[in-house]
């Protein structure tokens, strides 16, 4: 760990920036739909936490004459197919 810090200082880079990874959130690129939270309800009406996740798919889309890979929810994919 110390050796890594010395190397990064020699290169002129901050240690905390080189070690950090960028985490992408599950989010639709078109409408911005993300995970929402709610409750499961049993027969006794006891509430337990749960997540409602959007149905996200990787799709290749033509944008300004170029192929671009995007993460879209299925509702947005259907809308794009209807408009084309």
pLDDT digits (tens, 9 = 90+) for 44-84: 999 999 999 999 999 999 999 999 999 999 999 999 999 87
Q: What is the pTM of this model?
A: 0.64
Label each residue of the chain as H, E or C: CHHHHHHHHHHCCCHHHHHCCCCCCCCCCCCCCCCEEEEEECCCCCEEEEEECCCEEEEEEEECCEEEEEEEEHHHHHHHHHHC
Task: Give me the residue spans of the domains in the chain.
Answer: 25-83
Q: Give percent of the chain above pLDDT 90.
A: 67
Average of per-residue pLDDT across 30-51: 97
The CATH number fitting domain 25-83, selected from 2.30.170.40, 1.10.3720.10, 1.25.40.10, 3.40.50.720: 2.30.170.40
User: How much is the pLDDT for 21?
Assistant: 56
Distance CA 35, CA 27 (A): 8
- For residue 36, pLDDT beyond 80: yes
Query: Among candidates 36, 19, 42, 23, which has minimal Cα distance to 73?
Result: 36
């Amino acid at each position: 760990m110390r050796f890594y810090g010395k190397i990064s200082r020699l290169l002129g880079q901050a240690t905390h920036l080189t070690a950090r990874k960028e985490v992408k959130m599950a989010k639709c690129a078109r409408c911005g739909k993300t995970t929402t939270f709610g409750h499961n309800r049993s027969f006794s009406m006891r509430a337990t936490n749960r997540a409602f996740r959007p149905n996200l798919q990787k799709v290749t889309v033509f944008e300004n004459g170029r192929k671009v890979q995007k993460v879209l929810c299925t509702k947005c994919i259907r809308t794009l197919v209807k408009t084309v």
